[in-house]
Amino acid sequence: MNLNEIKGLYKEVFKTYDHPSLADHVQKIVELDTYLPYSSTFYCITNTSDLTFEYVSRNMPACLGLDKSLFEKQGMRYFWSRMHPDDVEPWLQALNSLMTFTLNEIDVCDRSKVNYTWNYRLKNGEGKYVNIVQNTTPIHFDETDKPIIGLAHYTVLAPEIQMNVCGTAKVLNDNNEYETVYFNNFSQKLLNDNVSNRERDVIRLLVLNYTSKKIAEKLNISSNTVDTHRRNILKKFNVSSTGELIGIIKMSNNLV
């Protein structure tokens, strides 16, 4: 199959997303899997109504070193059994909060446009806990318009990376761009453990739209020192811009 044919198949996958026939949609995803390169990501089609995996991509064993047949036979319970014990409670809080937000705050007609992200640590085939960032798009809903079948992408990151368990919901807007509508940090450790009191002061003033110069005047420090704090804050929050940081802060109940 050449590149144009792969692109055509890829487009067909997302064409079915507009008016999905679930069986056709899943079949197209399975067909595409044959041509995807090996990488640090894999995907599954998840069914939360019966806790099974409708499909597990061939890349999973390369990413985690686990037996694919165990995913297929034992489903999500096997997957969850390998989760780090310290991450189970915040992970459940993240899922419950995302679902509550969806059912209460997102119109039924927009739920097919939602994309969810959360993270946790999982024990791989070598017995080491690695970071997993899961990004899930719903592709089928039950009679109450609750998402039950989703296309889940998993990115595997090194265990040395320190990550708080967070949950994010984004909605595809009229400009075909994903807009963050919900974020929360469920580990509740970021400001308590990693962010200094001075950085906390800077964050609060940034949320009020103060410039570095104004923050420096308020805190009686130099603008260069403020800029240093801002760089460190972005690094600790693992974001690339002040705008993204402010958006996260404003949508979270746990960070300030």
- pLDDT single digits (tens) 44-70: 999 988 899 999 999 999 999 999 999
- pLDDT single digits (tens) 184-216: 888 754 455 577 878 888 988 887 888 999 999
Model confidence, pTM: 0.66
CATH of domain 36-185: 3.30.450.20
**What are the residue ranges spanned by the domains of the chain?**
36-185, 190-250
**Kind plus residue range of the DSSP H or E element containing 226:** helix 223-237
Q: In this structure, are residues 46 and 53 in contact, taking their beta carbons and an 8 Å threshold?
A: yes
DSSP one-letter code for 83: B
- pLDDT single digits (tens) 104-154: 999 999 998 999 999 999 999 999 999 999 999 998 888 888 888 999 999
Q: In this structure, are residues 12 and 28 in contact, taking their beta carbons and an 8 Å threshold?
A: yes
Looking at the chain, the whole-number percentage of residues with pLDDT higher than 90 is 42
- Looking at residue 14, its pLDDT comes to 43
- Looking at residue 3, its pLDDT comes to 47
Range of weakest confidence among 16-25, 72-81, 101-110, 194-203: 16-25
CATH architecture, range 190-250: Orthogonal Bundle (1.10)
The residues, any chain, with a CB within 8 Å of residue 6's CB and separated by 6 or more, are 32, 35
Task: Report the alpha-carbon distance of residue 149 to residue 142 in Å, rounded.
Answer: 9
Instruction: Answer whether residue 173 shows pLDDT above 90.
Output: no
Residues in the chain: 256
- Looking at residue 19, its pLDDT comes to 47
- Three-state DSSP at 26 gives helix
Range of weakest confidence among 8-12, 67-71, 157-161: 8-12
- The 114-123 sheet, strands edge to edge: 52-56, 41-47, 147-157, 129-141, 114-123, 166-172, 178-185
